[in-house]
Every structure is written in structure tokens, then in C-alpha cells.
Amino acid sequence: MSYDRTLARVETYFDKTATRTWERLTSDAPVSRIRETVRRGRDEMRALLLSRLPEDLGGARVLDAGCGAGQMTAELAARGADVVAVDISPSLIEIAQKRVPEGLHRKVRFEAGDMLDQRLGSFDFVVAMDSLIYYREADLAAALHELAGRTSGQVLFTVAPRTPLLMAMWRMGQVFPRSDRSPTMVPHAPARIANALRSHGSKARLAPFSRVSSGFYISQAMEVAA
């Protein structure tokens, strides 16, 4: 499945099928035990990614690629960054605009659209938490190559790790597709992403640095740097 087709599925899911689910999951509202593990995992991963960035981001231009309901956006703006918060879902952008504290709005430019849109410009850092997890290897590498080419510092991102459990779940998802299910996560191995990046002529270094496993949330953090 091409990048554009996957992007369209992601937009449909988050903007029409699951907006209210994600609004609740990313709040402090009560959720099921399973979703609570996902919430805890996402909170832990967000903290890990932020720990790779300077505490003082004053003067830095940062892309929050796939900003969702704006939790990462608010943290980046609170550190002084000028944030471009982009998400394919206009509905999630509306939620993010309401949730980011008013005092930080002057530090944030909200955009509904593709995180790879070149009109967004260049950045000091990029954070793409759980927004590249639906793309196959070639499309993921192309996206990272594009983002790294416009970023002077790190591109921080997450993928579903290529573990036996996740691979089994992924294969089952291919055999038994369901139209109402979220887009299928594609598990990845760091070495294969690195090879795919090199096939684009990229000299950027890719390094995995941490993994979070919290119930149904399993995610590998990585970074690409020049």
C-alpha cells in the first residue's frame, strides 16, 4: 500500500471513526483497563522522546509531526519552542487547539495536513510519536529521508518493533482485515530501516534508543541525525 493510500486510511480513521475515542484516551477521563495501559505507555514514550531534546528550546523551530490531541505540542511550547503542530485529522487539530493552554498559543502554528508537506519549511527538531507506525519500510524510509533533509538536529520517531508477538498480530491482521479497525501497524527492525534509508542516498545515522511496553502499547523509539 502506497504512502498516499495509507495516509488516506489514517485520516479516515482518526478524523471520522475514532475521534472521540482518541479524545478520551488522551484526556484524564476514565477508560477501560486495556486503554489505560495504552495511555500509560504513551505518557512514558512522550517523556522519553522529550528527554532527548534540550530542556530549553527557546528559539528552536520544532515540528510535532502527527500532533494528535496536542499533548506533545504543549510540552514543546512550554520549553520555549516555536512549534508547527500538524496532523492529518482536522478534528484532532481542533481538539489540540482547545487543549493547548492559551498562554502557549502564540508559540504554536496548527496545521491540518500531511506532515511531509514541504511548505511547512525547515526545522531544528522533528518529533513524530506514533505517527509513522502505519507505513511500510520503503514509505517510512522515504518519509524519514524527507524530514531529515529539512532538519538540522534530530528526527525523533517511533515504530512498532519487529517482535514475534507483533509480527503474529500483523500477519493475522492481513489475513482477517476489518473495515472498522484502525490502520494496521507495520512492525519494523532498525537494521532494515537503516538499509532502506541508505537506498535513498541518505547519510543520516539511525539509532534506536528505548522501548516502551505497557500492556497493549509496545513501541520502539528511534532517532535520525545528520
Domain borders along the chain are: 3-225
Q: Is residue 11's pLDDT more than 70?
A: yes
pLDDT tens sequence across 104-162: 999 999 999 999 999 999 999 999 999 999 999 999 999 999 999 999 999 999 999 97
pLDDT value, residue 16? 85
pTM: 0.92
CATH of 3-225, one of 3.40.50.10130, 3.40.50.720, 3.60.15.10, 3.40.50.150: 3.40.50.150
% pLDDT > 70, the chain: 91
> 164: pLDDT confidence band, cut at 50, 70 and 90?
low
Average pLDDT over residues 47-69: 98
pLDDT value, residue 5? 92
pLDDT value, residue 44? 98
pLDDT tens sequence across 26-42: 999 999 998 999 999 99
pLDDT value, residue 174? 44
> 184: pLDDT confidence band, cut at 50, 70 and 90?
confident
Q: Is residue 215's pLDDT more than 50?
A: yes
- Over the chain, what is the mean pLDDT? 91
Average pLDDT over residues 167-192: 64
**DSSP-based three-state secondary structure for 95:** helix
